[in-house]
Amino acid sequence: MTAGHPVALVTGAARRLGAAIARRLHAAGYDLALHFHGSVAEAAALAAELEAARAGSVLRLQADLAAFDRLPELVAHTVGRFGRLDALVNNASEFAPEAFGGIHPAHWDRMMAVNARAPFFLAQAAAPHLRATRGAVVNLSDVYASAPRADLAAYASSKGALEAATRALAVAMAPEVRVNAVAPGAILWPEDGIDPALRERLLAMTPLGRTGTPAEVAAAVLWLLRDATYTTGTVLAVDGGRGPG
């Protein structure tokens, strides 16, 4: 542990947006608990990179966030290692398109468990520690929470629930803890590809005319955690102006 550094628990931290957020927070002086599920090698590589920059600053934590009992354990391990908790970033997300009409309860339940239930109960477990440090929570939502696609009905519903939870937690954890969300637009395309026509349509709906970058999302997360001292219960769009329409 590096004495005196603020501490952040970041879920889904091994790759993509999560890794960008982890790097940005670490560069800003945070010690990190990096949660991951299946991305073992990526988590190890990221931890080694950050440890090389500042020894003793990173803890790796593996868990399936759909396993309810693992949630308080993540908070306990973080506080056990670093002695404090200043920030919780609920970045981990389950994303799986499914055509409406063919959605089964197992698909719905997985979306809700990872995307809405886990952030809520991680925040509840973290609340006493965050209150002690007057810390903050940032949840990663999605533009699809307010502008759903038909093949993302369950996913969009789970992100809508997360945004409602953000507002509820902001009230429940006030005044000591601020709770906000970031709703990215087109930042990273799905790893299994995207239909070129859909990609062009999404960019045409974006006034800035380009995809955003993970670094831009990470900057918004850091601002909400550290600098937005009179902001809580807010969903900050990082979407190039695309909006809910």
| Architecture of the 7-237 domain | 3-Layer(aba) Sandwich (3.40)
CB 1 within 8 Å of CB 195: no
Q: What is the mean pLDDT of residues 165-192?
A: 92
Q: Say if residue 105 is exposed, middle or buried (CB neighbours under 10 Å; 0-12, 13-18, 19+).
A: exposed
Domain boundaries, the chain: 7-237
Q: Is the pLDDT of residue 190 over 80?
A: no
Q: Would you give the end-to-end CA distance of the chain in angstroms?
A: 46
Q: Is the pLDDT of residue 88 over 70?
A: yes
What pLDDT is attached to residue 81? Answer: 98
Q: What is the mean pLDDT of residues 16-24?
A: 97
Range in 13-27, 89-103, 226-240 with the lowest mean pLDDT? 89-103
Q: What is the mean pLDDT of residues 216-239?
A: 97
Active site residues: 155
Confidence of residue 1 (pLDDT cuts 50, 70, 90): very low
Confidence of residue 194 (pLDDT cuts 50, 70, 90): confident
Q: Is the pLDDT of residue 2 over 70?
A: no
Q: What is the mean pLDDT of residues 87-110?
A: 93
Q: What is the mean pLDDT of residues 14-43?
A: 98
Q: Is the pLDDT of residue 149 over 90?
A: no
Instruction: Identify which of 47, 24, 53, 48 has the alpha carbon closest to the alpha carbon of residue 34.
Output: 47
Residue 229 CA to residue 95 CA, distance in Å, equals 31
CB atoms < 10 A from the CB of 32, how many?
A: 29
Counting residues of the chain whose pLDDT is more than 70, the rounded percentage is 96
Q: What is the mean pLDDT of residues 138-149?
A: 93
Q: What is the mean pLDDT of residues 9-17?
A: 97
What pLDDT is attached to residue 245? Answer: 52
Range in 191-200, 205-214, 224-233 with the lowest mean pLDDT? 191-200
